[in-house]
Structure 1
């Protein structure tokens, strides 16, 4: 699903940032039905919202989860539990959800932040598969 897309270089040619790779990739992998104007909402979340705060791959993953599992409002869904699980799992495996420490630990000149984004995609895929099955 999205992990395979990202691992195969999805978004590199378009020069998508981390958030764009996840949201555009999720749109394709999960058939979210988001149009180009809506997808542009992810642009400002790259690089931890430009200040190396919460990683854009994670904020975009939360956007995708919301699109998939919120029918009307957050309070009428279990999105809080799903996003909490997603972020906690990511933090457990990668030791942070913040852009600055993730870049310091995982970013390379050759691969950029691919490992950070691929891990987000992997956990996102697992949760989406499970939730759609239940």
Structure 2
């Protein structure tokens, strides 16, 4: 799954930002079949949308949930809202924040960069996707 790719260093040699690691990695892990042009959509979400706001791992994770669990649009059901709330609430409970600034202050190291921040989002996303696809 996605968390295994992240643990193995997915996206590091390509110099992907946090949002790109989630979306590009999810494309591979969950067989989303997105082409390179579409994947570029995540570029501006790294670094908390460049202002240390909501972490790019989370915005990209929400993109993945939309791709997997929305048939036409968000208003067709409450499913995407429910899954998004679960993702964000779980992440905040486990990591203490949703925002890039505090996450970097608490978890970023010179050696690992933001790997643990990205890994936590991948683990939560894996859990939700595994449950939803097998229920």
**TM-score normalized by structure 2?**
0.98
CA distance in 2, matches of 1:86, 1:36: 26
| Residues 1:5 and 2:39 aligned together | no
Distance 1:95 1:19 in 2: 19
2-structure distance, mates of 1:69, 1:29: 16
Distance in 1 (alpha carbons) for counterparts of 2:40 and 2:16: 11
CA distance in 1, matches of 2:67, 2:33: 9
* Partner Cα distance (1:31, 1:87) in 2: 23
Q: CA deviation at 1:33?
A: 1.2
CA distance in 2, matches of 1:2, 1:91: 20
Query: Which residue number corresponds to residue 101 of structure 1?
Result: 102
Q: Which runs of 5 or more residues in structure 2 are unaligned?
A: none
Output the CA distance in 2 between the equivalents of 1:66 and 1:73. 9
* Structure 1 residue 52 displacement after superposition: 0.2
| Per-residue CA distance 1:30-60 (angstroms, 9 max, x = gap) | 0111111100000000000000000000000
Return 5+ residue gaps in structure 1 as ranges: none
SS in 1 for 2:32: coil
Matched positions, count: 134
Provide the residue aligned with 1:32 in structure 2.
32
TM-score, normalised relative to structure 1: 0.99
What corresponds to 1:58 in structure 2?
58
C-alpha distance in 1 between matches for 2:40 and 2:88 = 23
1:8 Cα deviation (Å)? 0.2
Aligned-residue CA RMSD in angstroms? 0.5
Cα distance, 1:105 vs structure 2: 0.1
- In the alignment, what sits opposite 1:81? 82
Structure 1 segments, 4+ long, off by >3 Å, are none
Per the TM alignment, residue 75 of structure 1 is displaced from its structure 2 partner at its CA by 1.1
